[in-house]
């Protein structure tokens, strides 16, 4: 033995995690039956398997929810299980926060808190919640392998077999990455399933990664988050969609892209088979998609626009349609969708030409946020996809089209588009002097302000007034002018010196509908390939089965 | 049916990929035995399963190579199989290029071509190779789900069972992501395995994702790429490592990090238990690692510095050591390492404080490249980890420490460190007027220059002269001065106006060893915790089993 070694080394155990796990499993053996936790024993099992201070991943995607397990966790005795450090990509359900009120959990790391954003902010202010941090999905997944390695994962799947193999069906979402980080560091993985069967349609996660299966009292909750009823699409949204197609997608030859939730992008999807077709763009743009299976994409798929769709998760009602379109969607041998939120975020970050999103507020520099007074909504995946990934080294026509210099070291850019009407509901301006996010961030004691998309990452802003081509701005001053020129009668828009407008148009920094050959009067709902959910069902040949709340016929 | 729909819709098949796959499988049935391709039938099987123009992923990680399958592919009849579009994260073996010479393959998308970089450049120039593009690993994986969806995947695993389940052991690397992209789009997955067994130690990839298993004539090739013999570490590298520990890791409280291949970072690893210990830094810095299982990390692990290591791949000889240290490494139920290149790249991009790399050339602005005259080496993962990921929204002490403004919208930065001696071997300066990459990029007809790390992404440069704190530079001019001040007697260093040196030191833009409390004369090999591979074996208590070429005792 080397002398240095003798000085430095200590006799120590290198299997503390494995031993702790074995101990927990032994302790829980009296309420489990081998790999199966009987449904009624779940609370007791959690009390035996969890210890105070554990880092626990609770599966709450923005769609699929491990409802049975989250409810059970809220029922454990805080005298036995407490100070948990929760990791939840989405805080979606009341009991996700109840566990903090009850003292079962203490610290939270999360990505998105849409439905619970008001309560999250209040609880932080009241000191009932200790903030780890707010992340995009992808960075949260990354940390699961670095400094947020889970002790326990509580996840949801459709079916399990006796060996613990899991079938997630169309809703694989983020389950694999949560399980992988936990299972391979001697953590405990508990999966709630809707049923236990002899043979699975396919295996989505191998049984040797799973410790316990519990059959839930009710199927896991699943939200149709990405369904937009075409009836609510307005003429203004159609005008903006026409501008986006003509002034961005066509101009820059956008072939691969991500669309998020929203009527703006639903309008684009529904204009491709009509307006897009009239421009002769089929087969030239919008061929490869990274997005959830939006029902409003059905007409474009049926019209032959779409070569591939890779999905973050599933969408309620789209199961049969997807299964009948394997040339377009990723499906397994059983015929159903295979989604994967982790790889979709990778693809959405690095492998597509364009991200297009919307926001509630934008400042004069183009910084934007969906965080508004008193609401700490988090980020989800938008910042991950809505920035220029500077590690990218491959090129595409759209990416190269963003180059504004002939410097031999110049490179392209990802297109990051913000599409907003100048005013929100209740006549609240979108373009504002200062983002509410700054104040909310301060109140919540965050280390940095919760900005969704930074202005320097935005290449285009589309409003009902026109398009600002921010990637062409040579200075912050030019960027501001271009934004103000399309900001309408908002505080920022009113600052605009209208004598500069013509110069900005000539320099290609802004374009109005007429500059793009679009007549405002043409922007009518009659242009939509489907005007209602019923139309979407028709387009799908009856394969799309919308949830009851979207049915009116 | 809606009138628009009638106009736009066409009767068409939506199962062309699935049908094509079924046809291929049927055609190959005469040379296969169910799921198994007999070893001797592999060439004929490939001729029946592949069709001209197929997009084929061939597993060539930078460590594990699907050698049997790549050799077989090089033996198919180009009259039957040709114009293949190859996707290889690493071009590592002669036959990877032979298939282009023979007309079997035509187009290439890749990430890294280290050992074959000269030949790649020549073949491109001679028109024998059509370039798709050069990517980082992560963007290549992303495109597998978007516009580079494979028709066929040729991959390597350790063992398979009769149901096609795969065991990859420590060398999981990128196999799961290649298989997932192929299997769920009706592509064909062919796995070479070292043996077919009744029961697997664990399942790494489910059998329902795999079409064919073929037992290879020889175990797949595996390179000990990340083994550095401490005997070759020089005093200068030790000096630079001391500066990095004192002037960067300690100063900015770096807790999570990636180290790549190289003697510079090996020196850092070997100084932690000695120099780092003397500074009282154990438990304060370098706790969470994303890197391959470097043998030179053994002393730091044994001394209690390391809380976790997440691995891109395995390392030959480290298997037993890793299996005995599950508190530190990610391991499966069988006790062996679980690596994953895709998730490691995600973690290395988004979840760590610091990336540290080296380069062959750097220009005055801090842009760097390992592409040198006539060699098109590609990128691997360095640019993915060696940039500031602007989608990041969570903070850490080191990240926040990079903030240089009190603007409410200011954010932190990832630490991107370049560590280079001012001169390479053969007295070639590292700091140069212009990168060879610009010329190579032009010759090869690349759309952008193959720059590895862009100067604007670099926060620190370390040379034997000192550290340049580029993140503190307020202008390109300041960045240039700081670089020149530590560039020694290279062309760039000689441009430095030495009257500015004191000002740069006072402003904290540069630091010399003495500014960090380091005496150059202390930088001696005696500081290394291990001075030879034999020492590393000692540290490991005999668990580390270095390959023969590293044994000299």
Give A282-321 pLDDT, tens digit per residue: 999 999 999 999 999 999 999 999 999 999 999 999 999 9
Flag if A303 and B8 touch (Cβ within 8 Å).
yes
Identify the residue among B4, B433, B537 best suited for mutation to test binding to A, counting A beta carbons within 10 A and taking the highest: B4
Asked if B53 contacts B83 with a C-beta cutoff of 8 angstroms, the reply is yes
What are B369's two structure tokens? 């490249």
Most confident of the ranges A1-5, A6-10, A221-225, B23-27: B23-27
Distances (CA, A) of B147 to A255, A344, B143, B549: 9, 13, 6, 42
DSSP letter string over A156-217? EEEEE-TT--EE-TT--TTHHHHHHHHHTTT-EEEEEEEEE-SS-SS-SB-GGG--EEEE-S
With a cut of 60, say whether residue B154 has pLDDT above it.
Answer: yes
Residue of chain B minimizing CA distance to A401: B447
Q: Which of B260, B238, B268, B252 is nearest to B421 (CA)?
A: B238
Compute the average pLDDT of residues A230-254: 98
Phi, psi of B361 (to 5 degrees): -145, 145
Compute the average pLDDT of residues B48-70: 95
E-assigned strand segments in B457-504: 460-462, 467-469
pLDDT at A426: 83
B208 → closest Cβ in A333, A352, A384: A333
Asked if B157 contacts B200 with a C-beta cutoff of 8 angstroms, the reply is no
pLDDT at A371: 81
Flag if B202 and A208 touch (Cβ within 8 Å).
yes
Flag if B409 and A18 touch (Cβ within 8 Å).
no
| Cα R_g (chain A), whole angstroms | 25
Q: Which of B491, B165, B158, B80 is nearest to A163 (CA)?
A: B165
Gap between the Cα atoms of A308 and A330, Å rounded: 8
Sign, CA dihedral B157-B160-B164-B169, equals negative
pLDDT at B9: 53
With a cut of 90, say whether residue A540 has pLDDT above it.
Answer: yes
What are A28's two structure tokens? 């829980």
Residue of chain B minimizing CA distance to A287: B147
Residue of chain A minimizing CA distance to B534: A2
Percent of chain A at pLDDT > 70 equals 98
DSSP letter string over A505-548? HHTTSEE-GGGGT--GGG--GGG-S-SSHHHHHHHTTT-----G
Flag if B135 and A302 touch (Cβ within 8 Å).
no
With a cut of 90, say whether residue B106 has pLDDT above it.
Answer: yes
Flag if A17 and B449 touch (Cβ within 8 Å).
no
Q: A270: pLDDT confidence band, cut at 50, 70 and 90?
A: very high
Residue with tokens 């508990």: A190
Compute the average pLDDT of residues B246-257: 98
A136 → closest Cβ in B255, B391, B539: B391
pLDDT at A102: 97
Q: B10: pLDDT confidence band, cut at 50, 70 and 90?
A: low
Mean of the per-residue pLDDT values of chain A: 95
The larger pLDDT score, comparing residue A1 to residue B304, is at B304
Which residues of A fall within a CB distance of 8 Å from B2?
Answer: 530, 535, 538-539
Measured in angstroms, the CA of B222 and the nearest CA of chain A are apart by 23
Q: B420: pLDDT confidence band, cut at 50, 70 and 90?
A: very high
With a cut of 50, say whether residue B224 has pLDDT above it.
Answer: yes
Residue of chain B minimizing CA distance to A312: B145
With a cut of 50, say whether residue A78 has pLDDT above it.
Answer: yes
Identify the residue among A137, A150, A409 best suited for mutation to test binding to B, counting B beta carbons within 10 A and taking the highest: A409
With a cut of 60, say whether residue A7 has pLDDT above it.
Answer: no
Three-class SS state of A504: helix
Q: Which helix (H) or strand (E) holds B71?
A: helix B67-73
Mean of the per-residue pLDDT values of chain B: 95
pLDDT at B134: 95
Which residues of B fall within a CB distance of 8 Å from A327?
Answer: 13-18
Asked if A73 contacts A190 with a C-beta cutoff of 8 angstroms, the reply is no
Residue of chain A minimizing CA distance to B312: A145
Minimum mean pLDDT among A369-373, A398-402, B101-105: which range?
A369-373
B326 → closest Cβ in A186, A308, A325: A186
Residue with tokens 């007295």: B427
With a cut of 60, say whether residue B174 has pLDDT above it.
Answer: yes
Q: Which of A282, A285, A293, A278 is nearest to A527 (CA)?
A: A278
Gap between the Cα atoms of A33 and A497, Å rounded: 74
Q: A8: pLDDT confidence band, cut at 50, 70 and 90?
A: very low
Q: Bridge partners of B64? A: B222
Flag if A139 and B16 touch (Cβ within 8 Å).
no
Please work out, in degrees rounded to the nearest 5, the angle formed at the alpha carbon of residue A292 by the alpha carbons of A291 and A296: 95
B538 → closest Cβ in A5, A109, A326: A5
Q: A9: pLDDT confidence band, cut at 50, 70 and 90?
A: low
Q: B102: pLDDT confidence band, cut at 50, 70 and 90?
A: very high
Report pLDDT digits (tens) over B126-146: 999 999 999 999 999 999 999
Minimum mean pLDDT among A36-40, A108-112, A544-548, B112-116: which range?
B112-116
Gap between the Cα atoms of A395 and A360, Å rounded: 32
Compute the average pLDDT of residues A201-219: 97
Which residues of B fall within a CB distance of 8 Å from A287?
Answer: 147
Report pLDDT digits (tens) over B439-496: 988 888 899 999 999 999 999 999 999 999 999 999 999 999 999 999 999 999 999 9
Distances (CA, A) of A359 to A261, A274, B287: 11, 27, 38
Measured in angstroms, the CA of A429 and the nearest CA of chain B are apart by 21
Flag if B203 and A207 touch (Cβ within 8 Å).
yes
Q: Which helix (H) or strand (E) holds A379?
A: none
Residue of chain A minimizing CA distance to B337: A184
Percent of chain B at pLDDT > 70 equals 98
Q: B7: pLDDT confidence band, cut at 50, 70 and 90?
A: very low
Identify the residue among B1, B11, B16, B142 best suited for mutation to test binding to A, counting A beta carbons within 10 A and taking the highest: B142
Report pLDDT digits (tens) over B356-379: 999 999 999 999 998 877 788 889
Q: A440: pLDDT confidence band, cut at 50, 70 and 90?
A: confident
A203 → closest Cβ in B134, B186, B208: B208
Distances (CA, A) of B42 to A278, B111, B127, B212: 50, 27, 30, 11
With a cut of 80, say whether residue B3 has pLDDT above it.
Answer: no
Measured in angstroms, the CA of A297 and the nearest CA of chain B are apart by 13
Q: A373: pLDDT confidence band, cut at 50, 70 and 90?
A: confident
Q: B2: pLDDT confidence band, cut at 50, 70 and 90?
A: very low
Flag if A351 and B186 touch (Cβ within 8 Å).
no
Torsion of CA A149, A154, A158, A163, to 10 degrees: 80
With a cut of 90, say whether residue A249 has pLDDT above it.
Answer: yes
Report pLDDT digits (tens) over A171-205: 999 999 999 999 999 999 999 999 999 999 999 99
CB pairs under 8 A between A and B: 322
Report pLDDT digits (tens) over A491-533: 999 999 989 999 999 999 999 999 999 999 999 999 999 999 9
Residue of chain B minimizing CA distance to A271: B4
pLDDT at A410: 94
Q: B1: pLDDT confidence band, cut at 50, 70 and 90?
A: very low
Q: B114: pLDDT confidence band, cut at 50, 70 and 90?
A: confident
DSSP letter string over B316-343? TT-HHHHHT-TTTB-B-TTSSB---HHH
Compute the average pLDDT of residues A113-137: 92
pLDDT at B65: 94
Identify the structural domains of chain B with CATH numbers, from first to last: 17-222 (3.40.1080.10), 230-537 (3.40.1080.10)
B326 → closest Cβ in A10, A17, A327: A17
DSSP letter string over B500-534? GHHHHHHTTSEE-GGGGT--GGG--GGG-S-SSHH
pLDDT at A10: 55
Flag if A349 and B142 touch (Cβ within 8 Å).
yes
Phi, psi of A60 (to 5 degrees): -135, 85
């Amino acid at each position: 033995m080397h002398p240095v070694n003798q000085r430095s080394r200590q006799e120590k155990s290198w299997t503390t995690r494995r031993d702790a796990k074995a101990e927990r499993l032994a302790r829980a053996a009296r309420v489990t039956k081998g790999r199966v936790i009987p449904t009624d024993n779940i609370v007791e099992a959690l009390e035996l398997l969890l210890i105070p201070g554990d880092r626990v991943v609770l599966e709450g995607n923005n769609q699929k929810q491990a409802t049975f397990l989250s409810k059970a966790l809220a029922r454990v005795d805080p005298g036995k299980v407490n100070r948990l450090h929760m990791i939840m990509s989405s805080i979606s359900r009341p009991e996700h926060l109840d566990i903090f009120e009850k003292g079962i959990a203490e610290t939270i790391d999360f990505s998105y808190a849409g439905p619970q954003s008001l309560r999250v902010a209040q609880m932080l202010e009241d000191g009932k919640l200790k903030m780890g941090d707010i992340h995009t999905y992808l960075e949260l997944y990354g940390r699961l392998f670095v400094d947020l390695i889970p002790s326990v994962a509580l996840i949801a799947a459709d079916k399990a077999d006796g060996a613990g193999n899991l079938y997630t069906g169309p809703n694989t979402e983020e389950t694999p990455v949560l399980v992988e980080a936990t299972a391979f560091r001697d953590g405990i993985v508990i999966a709630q399933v809707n049923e236990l069967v002899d043979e699975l349609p396919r295996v989505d996660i191998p049984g040797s990664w799973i410790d316990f299966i519990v059959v839930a009292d009710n199927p896991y909750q699943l939200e149709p988050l990405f369904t937009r009823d075409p009836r609510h699409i307005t003429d203004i949204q159609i005008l903006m969609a026409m501008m986006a197609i003509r002034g961005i997608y066509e101009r820059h030859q956008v072939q691969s892209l991500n669309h998020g939730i929203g009527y703006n992008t639903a309008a684009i999807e529904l204009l491709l088979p009509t307006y897009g077709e009239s421009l002769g763009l089929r087969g030239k743009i919008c061929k490869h998609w990274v997005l959830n299976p939006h029902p409003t994409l059905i007409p474009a798929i049926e019209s032959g626009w779409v070569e591939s769709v890779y999905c973050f998760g599933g969408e309620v009602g789209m199961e049969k349609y997807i299964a009948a379109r394997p040339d377009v969607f990723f499906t397994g041998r059983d015929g159903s969708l295979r989604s994967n939120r982790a790889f979709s975020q990778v693809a959405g970050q690095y492998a597509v030409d364009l991200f297009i999103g919307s926001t509630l507020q934008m400042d004069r520099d183009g910084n934007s946020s969906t965080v508004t007074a008193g609401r700490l909504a988090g980020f989800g995946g938008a910042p991950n996809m809505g920035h220029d990934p500077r590690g990218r080294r491959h090129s595409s026509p759209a990416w190269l089209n963003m180059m504004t210099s002939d410097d031999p070291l110049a490179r392209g850019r990802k297109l990051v588009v913000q599409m907003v009407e100048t005013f929100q509901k209740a006549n609240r301006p979108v373009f504002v002097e200062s983002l509410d996010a700054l104040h909310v961030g301060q109140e919540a004691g965050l280390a940095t302000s919760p900005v969704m998309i930074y202005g320097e990452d935005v290449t285009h802003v589309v409003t009902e007034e026109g398009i600002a081509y921010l990637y062409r701005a040579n200075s912050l001053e030019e960027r501001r002018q271009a934004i103000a020129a399309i900001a309408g009668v908002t505080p920022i828009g009113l600052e605009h010196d209208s004598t500069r407008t013509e110069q900005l148009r000539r320099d290609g920094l802004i374009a109005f509908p007429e500059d793009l050959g679009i007549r405002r009067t043409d922007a009518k709902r009659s242009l939509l390939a489907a005007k209602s959910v019923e139309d979407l069902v028709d387009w799908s040949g009856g394969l799309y089965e919308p949830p009851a709340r979207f049915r009116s016929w």
